[in-house]
Amino acid sequence: MPLPATIGTVHFVGIGGSGMSGLARLFLAAGHRVTGSDRADSEYVHELRALGARIAIGHDAANLPADASALVYTGALWADNAEYLAAISRGIPVLHRSQALAWLTRGHRVVAVAGAHGKTTTTGMLATALVGLGADPSFVSGGVVAGLETNAAAGGSDLFVIEADESDGSFLLYDAAVALITNVDDDHLDHYGSYEAVEAAFVEFARRARDLVVISSDDPGAVSVGARLGGPVVTFGESPAADVRVVDIVADGPVAFGIEWGGRRLDTRLRVPGRHNAINAAGAFAVLVGLGFDADAALDAVAAFGGTHRRFELHGTVGGVSVYDDYAHHPAEVRAVLEAARSVVGGGRIIAIHQPHTYSRTARLAGEFAEALERFADETVVLDVFGAREDPVPGVTGALVSEKFRDGARVRFISDWQEAADYAARLARPGDFVITLGCGDVNLIVPQLLDSLTAQTVS
């Protein structure tokens, strides 16, 4: 659907999601009336209501206001949603969230961050750094950025940092000045159909960037994309050929490393753990110096990044057992998170609670998930599949992952959440980390985990 010339009142279906809530916040900041609905109350809903949004819990055609000039939805929307159908019947433009964001970013110098993994963290690094450098950017991220304490904000400059979602090809909607590609994997094949189509979309995304393309030198998919661009790109990573080269990574806690760039070496230590975050930081640094910021100031500003919500986020410690949550939902992300946890857990063990996301991904990657979990976690609990936008598929459950473990004694498939929480609590001992993994609703098991640990400690 063509973008409307003007938008007044905007109605968001699923307004409480991390991405949608940030977009709604930006429309509010731009002076629009915002309404919306979601299936459940949440912290995001409370915050938006405090800013003036009118939000209903539950989906009903009556929620769509009479003066709505656009309805915004996500790929998770079911086609029979009553509000969506009401908008169509009334001739109200219905916009995918990426279309709404593209409308909002018109006239800005857009920095678009794309990639199979690391988008939210790198977006948060760039937003944190640009704020610290006094650049006053607008930004929208898939998670709340620690230190900025929000997932979106409207700034006064022309810079606009966005997390560009490749899952459904909508990252091609943006008029980007700068494109940053963290990596390219064979994910989202339910949309693309083949890896070749995934790679072609990233090539098109990069070619559309007007001013600067920054791309990983280490990830094979990203390297392949870079080779097809036919124009200058800035590369980052550990490869000796990288323009921004990461060296001497020390990952035994908050990660420290050096950057070789422009004939100089700069050293820093981040506030977050994990080798992968050293690479993410190098990508953010490459964008900043490409935008003209001083290298030393840029790296210091990136190092101020304190993490994001649902990215290795500590929720509490009970009886010496620390409970973390992370959004990881691809084998490469699971590996990165668990490696980061290993660097700071010391003598403790890692107990992973993995919620597979979507039936298609679980069926295709069950073996890779099992390999990552078995290699990097000491014990694993696998929950059932979070279907998201997909209907259930007979025979596809979390058991597909647990059955792929070579050592079945180190994994258990448990579909009942309370049973899973109690089991993980019985396994845990002082010094251990329990980490929930998944981009569905697995974070909602955290209170049950903390309660189970408390009961275990008391008993």
> Which residues lie below 8 Å from residue 241, measured CB to CB, with a gap of 6+?
217, 235
What one-letter code names the amino acid at 381?
V
**Cα(153)–Cα(309) distance, rounded to whole angstroms?**
16
Active site residue 163: yes
**Cα(396)–Cα(193) distance, rounded to whole angstroms?**
20
Active site residue 105: no
**Cα(226)–Cα(220) distance, rounded to whole angstroms?**
10
* 35, 83, 105, 163: the active-site residue: 163
**Cα(151)–Cα(17) distance, rounded to whole angstroms?**
11
Active site residue 182: no
Strands of 350-354's sheet, edge to edge? Answer: 313-318, 321-326, 433-437, 350-354, 379-382, 411-413
Tell me the DSSP string of 128-197: HHHHHTT---EEEEEEEETTTTEEEE--SSSEEEEE---TTSGGGG--EEEEEE----S--HHHHSSHHH
* 35, 119, 199, 358: the active-site residue: 119
Q: Which residue spans within 251-329 are E strands per DSSP?
A: 254-261, 264-273, 313-318, 321-326
Read off the DSSP letter of residue 386.
Answer: B
* 105, 120, 308, 362: the active-site residue: 120
**Cα(201)–Cα(225) distance, rounded to whole angstroms?**
9
**Cα(225)–Cα(444) distance, rounded to whole angstroms?**
37
**Cα(408)–Cα(459) distance, rounded to whole angstroms?**
29
**Cα(192)–Cα(210) distance, rounded to whole angstroms?**
25
What one-letter code names the amino acid at 45?
V
By CB atoms closer than 10 A (0-12, 13-18, 19+), residue 23 is: buried
* Cα torsion 3, 153, 236, 289: sign: positive
**Cα(251)–Cα(118) distance, rounded to whole angstroms?**
17
List the catalytic residues: 119-120, 163
